[in-house]
Amino acid sequence: MSNQRIVNFSYFVGTLTLFFVLGKLFYQFWGYAGFQDRFIVGQMGYPWLIAFVLTAVILFVVLRSDKVTPFLLEVVAELREVTWPTRQEVVSHTRVVILTVIVLALVLGAFDVLWAKMSKFLLNPTL
């Protein structure tokens, strides 16, 4: 797949994501504000229309920009040059991270118990 097709696909996915996020956000705001909703198409009313228009405006501004598309093309080109780890390397590194987290959690837990007992003794030595 060419770099331009990847960038175009990212525009498509980003536009759909933005539309649905804004639609849900405006729909929630519409309900909380107590506005009367009139359905235009199916279950989509004014909040979804506002989300569609705002998404279209944002997409238009992004596509008209002289900086966004070249930047994304450079990002795709750089990502093609990355040496990705093998599955075995990922599994090995994941095991190391999980083991390290467990050991550090045990050490911090032991310190927590130790400090709690010392604090309790120092604050109330009669116990």
Three-state SS for 15-58 is HHHHHHHHHHHHHHHHHHHCCCCCEEECCEEHHHHHHHHHHHHH
Residue 9 one-letter amino acid: F
* Residues 71 and 90 both lie in one domain: no
Distance (Å, whole) CA 11 – CA 106: 46
Average pLDDT (19-25) is: 93
Percent of the chain with pLDDT strictly greater than 70: 92
For residues 93 and 105, membership in a common domain is answered with yes
Confidence bin at 42 (pLDDT 50/70/90): low
Report the DSSP beta bridge partners of residue 41: 44
How many whole angstroms separate alpha carbon 101 and alpha carbon 121?
Answer: 30
Considering only residues 79 and 31, tell me which one the structure prediction assigns the higher pLDDT: 79
Closest CA to 7 of 85, 57, 78: 78
Domain residues for the domain of 110 are 84-127
Same domain, 16 and 34: yes
Q: Is the pLDDT of residue 45 over 70?
A: yes
| pLDDT digits 0-9 by tens, 90-123 | 999 999 999 999 999 999 999 999 999 999 888 8
Task: Give the number of domains in the chain.
Answer: 2
42: left (phi over 0), alpha (psi -120 to 50) or beta: left
Mark whether 74 and 88 lie in a shared domain.
Answer: no
Task: Give the pLDDT score at 41.
Answer: 64
Q: What is the sign, positive or negative, of the torsion defined by CA atoms of 12, 13, 15, 19? A: positive
Regarding pTM above 0.75, the answer is no
